[in-house]
Amino acid sequence: MNINIKLRFLFVLLSALLTAACSQEDEILPAPQESPATESAAVPVPAPVLTTKADSTKADSAAYRYATFRNMPYRILFPKNYDPAKQYPMLVFLHGIGERGSDNELQLRWGASLFQTDSLREKYPAFIVFPQCLTDHYWFDSWGTETLKGLIDSMGKEHKIGHVYIGGLSMGAYGTYAMTSRYPGFFTGAVAISGDGDSNKAPVMARARWRIFAGKKDYIVSSDKSEKMAAALRKSGASVSFTLYPGADHTGSWVNAFAEPDFVSWIFSDPK
């Protein structure tokens, strides 16, 4: 990272620690070490959070199969009534910085239970993949983007994969922006919740449909960053849906997003 990026990184983390300590119910963990110097690591990552009052809905861990690609753990939910002769879409969903590790469990904390709903699995049969980022990496560094792309490509060799979608929250949203900029045209749709990206790369990211969410009271990743990305993508010709929750903090942004009745249907709606 150059000096300017290091300063941005430290400024965001320091601001997050100070303001969140005063204004949010979330407990802020120690700031992570900076990521390796790569093109994708130009955007500072938010400090990790542990929620205290807004807890997640526990997923049925057994429904998601255990697997590892290279040294990256991941869990995968197969389409209901899976038929290897049929083609299915795939969603890769990226967790936040607080779920990094190697236990292959933490990444299911947010969102995994939503995709297990029987009615949704019947209506939208798809591969749902929840990878887990190692503690010394980020979704937007070279290891993260290259390993994720390798996993998706390997899945395509083993199964009949149609459209590929990507989404994420917090650090996972940063990774979503990084993946769509690094692999333009590869993803049909993208969901970014409380994240940030390089708005200068919006023209190459605009080939995907976008749904962006943010909380106005988010003191970890300002909603201004999401608004900036939404505006840049629209200007570049992308189809963008942006939702701002006036009373939501960092965690509240994805709690509210997952509660949207069309959250899943939007992802798997037919591309236009």
Q: Each residue of 208-267: pLDDT tens digit? A: 999 999 999 999 999 999 999 999 999 999 999 999 999 999 999 999 999 999 999 999
Q: Measured between alpha carbons, how far is 107 from 102 in angstroms, rounded to an integer?
A: 10
3-state helix, strand, coil in the chain (%, to 5): 40, 20, 40
Task: Read off the pLDDT of residues 146-193 as tens digits, 9 standing for 90 and up.
Answer: 999 999 999 999 999 999 999 999 999 999 999 999 999 999 999 999
The two three-digit tokens of residue 101, written as one number = 């590790």
Give the start-to-end residue ranges of the domains of the chain: 3-267
pLDDT band at 6 (very low <50, low <70, confident <90, very high): very low
Q: What is the CATH number of domain 3-267?
A: 3.40.50.1820
Task: Give the Cβ contact number of residue 94 at 10 Å.
Answer: 32
pLDDT band at 272 (very low <50, low <70, confident <90, very high): low
Three-state DSSP class for 212? strand
Least confident window among 29-38, 83-92, 151-160:
29-38
pLDDT band at 16 (very low <50, low <70, confident <90, very high): low
**Could you tell me what percent of the chain has a pLDDT over 70?**
76
User: Average pLDDT, stretch 36-41?
Assistant: 36
What's the one-letter identity of residue 61? S
pLDDT value for 59: 60
The two three-digit tokens of residue 77, written as one number = 């939910």
Q: Measured between alpha carbons, how far is 55 from 265 in angstroms, rounded to an integer?
A: 24
pLDDT value for 199: 97
Element (H, E) at 152: helix 142-158
Element (H, E) at 43: none
pLDDT value for 9: 33
